[in-house]
């Protein structure tokens, strides 16, 4: 059976790509600044999300973080 190239990163892999700690990456998924896909107990980060994040700017508004690059993801 042939599987297509993976389209998601684990939180740990995403942290490595972004150059942040695993703990911080999990915090960002909890606050929504790093949108993730929840599959049972596992969180996965779409490669598309990482690519958009690396190309865009995050802004802070009030006590919540948001990234306007993701629209309705």
Judge whether 52 and 69 are in contact, CB under 8 Å. yes
The pLDDT, as a whole number, for residue 64 is: 53
**Six token digits for residue 2:** 């042939």
For the domain spanning 8-62, the CATH number is 1.10.1660.10
Q: What is the mean pLDDT of the chain?
A: 83
Which is nearest to 34 in space by CA: 42, 52, 7, 55?
A: 52
Once rounded to an integer, what is the mean pLDDT over residues 40-67? 76
The pLDDT, as a whole number, for residue 73 is: 46
Handedness of CA 56, 62, 64, 68 (dihedral sign): negative
Question: Per the confidence metrics, is the pTM higher than 0.75?
Answer: no
The pLDDT, as a whole number, for residue 58 is: 53
- List, for residues 21-47, the tens digit of each pLDDT value: 999 999 999 999 999 999 999 999 999
């Amino acid at each position: 059976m042939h599987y297509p190239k993976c389209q998601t990163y684990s939180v740990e892999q995403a942290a490595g790509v972004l150059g942040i700690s695993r703990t911080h990456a999990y915090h960002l998924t909890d606050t929504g600044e790093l949108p993730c896909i929840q599959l049972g107990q596992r969180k996965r980060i779409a490669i598309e999300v990482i690519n958009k994040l690396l190309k865009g700017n995050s802004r802070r508004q009030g006590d919540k973080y948001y990234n306007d690059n993701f629209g309705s993801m």
